[in-house]
Structure 1
Amino acid sequence: MSTDQPGTTVLLAGGSGLIGSALVHDLESRGTRVRRLVRREASGENEVSWSPQDGVLPDSAFDGVGSVVVLSGAGVGDKRWNTARKRELLRSRTSTTSLIARRMAELGGPQRLLTASAVGYYGSRGDAELVETDAPGEGFLADLCQAWEAAAQPARDAGIAVATARTGLVLTPEGGALGKLLPLLKLGLAGPMGGGKQWWPWISLTDEIRALVHLIGSDVTGPVNLTAPEPLRNAELTRVLAKALNRPATVPVPAFALRIVLGEFSSDLLASQRVLPAALLADGFEFRHPRLAPVAEEIIAG
């Protein structure tokens, strides 16, 4: 099915976040009905109340649904990591994905499930080019992503087509990493992090949403890297964005300073992941923003 015709009603978990809300807007602009799962009393016919912690998800949520998309999960960089926060990061992903996968298996459908994951799956791998068939890496985020992806196994076992979107660094001024970096870039206070040699697999928000819509209407299964075909080193990515703002990007941020401010999460910013979108390209997806330099101003402007 083409990118412009994603299908019938889409059931979405995680529709209030940055990516989820943009996906809802895009799908509805195409004439696709989106039914959102909400953890409060439903408001209107396009919402259904559910409770992942209590295992509550009514059969009616799946009525007329062609595809299910799960984007739920607490923000990895929103709070400093401790034991409790790590448990929440894991629980918020696996409990939602697992419940939906089990209910789909019990009901025998819908026959398409798209779940979220992240390039953190690969750990820090230096200059090695990474595609979907590469083994997982080491560290908390790699372990988190493996558990996250495994939570959809009941749907796979039931013969449901499951695709997993391993997303990279989503560039948009509306939030995420760029939303936090942009004020510093505008002041000329941003530069290479921890030396800046680590590869950062990025994707514009526009292409992130287009890729998700593509996967909703595709037959591809398994992991799919949602990253631009030209990953950049941290220093180069920062330089390109700063140039679009007519600002310097020469103030280095030492690794020890990141660890002091961010704690263990700094390992994610310092990780080197040269991830390539092999499966997405093989499935015929065409990026609108394959390279950062020509579109940096557009991405910064939102």
Structure 2
Amino acid sequence: MKIAISGGTGFIGKHLTQYFLNKGHDIYILTRSKKTSAEKNLHFVQWMTETINPALSLEGVDVIINLAGKSINDRWTEEAKKQIIDSRVQSTRAIYSIISSLRQKPKVFINASAIGLYGTSLTKTFTEQSNETGSDFLAETVETWEKEASKIQELNVRTVFTRFGIVLGDEGALSKMVLPYKLFAGGNLGSGQQWVSWIHVMDLVRLIEHIIFSTVSGPVNAVSPNPVTMNEFGKTIGNILNRPHWLPAPAFALKMVLGEMSLLILEGQKVLPEKALEDGFTFTYPHVDKALQDILASS
């Protein structure tokens, strides 16, 4: 199978690439810079440049996965917020252009998205059936991104929006959350009652593989079936690392340091993977203690 991935050199992209290479698939990484690969089944394709037509290298591709976009883990200045939105819209438009020009369309287009679309709540539970959307910057970003990606459905390509929760792995948000515990300074972030909807990176990779071979379309929540509160999440990290969970970081201090981006930590949402479960997907790491044990034991 031929699989094209934009954002393939990032945290999630690297795990996807290695997983599919190990299964013998041909992987095409869309990149702005010119690169070569020594691996037989790994190919780099330049895109989003004026002189290169990436579609010439992607004829016959079976799957396109779009992970491209500026990181949301930098302080949200007005310029940064513009780049966060623009990078996602532009990459999705570029993929639309590629698919439009292919004689043989891919079987499925999988677009990264985020559970931030639902907005934040201490009391509500969200599934793919939830019609509510938040009013904060992250929700607006996801709404804009999915609207752009949905245009690819008009090309008669099955389109899936994988709404990521916090992805736990060797990179990403977890490394920043673990650091205070390693320094014996771990504790609640804000109230500790906010929900953390999370997924082990390898379950995310396997879920994307499941989607490729299924017939599911539209939004799919890429989260574990067992979200936890921030307090429980932190206590679990402390127990695994044999470190105390005692030094709270009050909300006002985080807001001063992080600005608007603090909502990623201070506010959350309880999100369930209803669609994945109904479609028969089985999680390897459904509980946070086993997921964190697997990741932190090798860190």
Name the amino acid aligned to 1:250: W
Residue 156 of structure 1, aligned match among 116, 140, 153: 153
Normalization by structure 2: what TM-score? 0.93
Q: Which amino acid aligns with 2:19?
A: D
| Residues 2-59 of structure 1 deviation map (CA, whole Å, 9 limit, x = unaligned) | xxxxxx110111001000011100000011110111101242571111116x596432
Whether 2:115 is the aligned partner of 1:137: answer: no
Deviation at 1:235, TM superposition (A): 0.6
Per-residue deviation at 1:273?
0.4
Please show how residues 154-193 of structure 1 align to structure 2 within 5 Å: 154-172=151-169, 174-193=170-189
Alignment of 1:169-248 (within 5 A): 169-172=166-169, 174-248=170-244
User: Aligned runs of 1:106-125 on 2, under 5 Å?
Assistant: 106-107=101-102, 109-125=105-121
Check if 1:296 corresponds to 2:292.
Answer: yes
CA contact (8 A) 2:196 2:270 kept: yes
> What residue is the counterpart of 1:4 in the other structure?
none
Distance 2:204 2:150 in 1: 24
Residue aligning to 2:252? 256
- CA distance in 2 between counterparts of 1:250 and 1:256 reads 18
Aligned residue pairs total 292
**1:24 maps onto 2:17 in alignment:** yes
Are the counterparts in 1 of residues 55 and 99 from structure 2 also a CA contact under 8 Å? no
- Following superposition, the deviation at residue 218 of structure 1 comes to 2.0
Runs of 5+ unmatched residues, structure 2 = none
Q: 2:79 matched to 1:84?
A: yes
What SS does the corresponding residue of 1:286 show, helix, strand or coil?
coil
Paired with 2:48 and 2:27, the residues of 1 have a C-alpha distance of 19
The separation in 2 between residues aligned to 1:166 and 1:112, in whole angstroms, is: 16
Write the distance in 1 (CA, Å) between the matches of 2:71 and 2:47: 20
The answer to whether the 8 Å contact 2:59/2:102 transfers is: no
Sequence identity percentage: 33
On the 8 A contact 2:48/2:94 being kept in 1, the answer is no
User: Partner of 2:62: helix, strand, or coil?
Assistant: strand
Separation in 2, partners of 1:279, 1:128: 18
Letter in 2 for 1:258: L
Amino acid at match of 1:37: L
Distance between the aligned counterparts of 2:83 and 2:216, measured in 1?
30
Deviates more, 1:101-110 or 1:25-34: 101-110
Across the aligned residues of Structure 1 and Structure 2, the Cα RMSD in angstroms comes to: 1.6
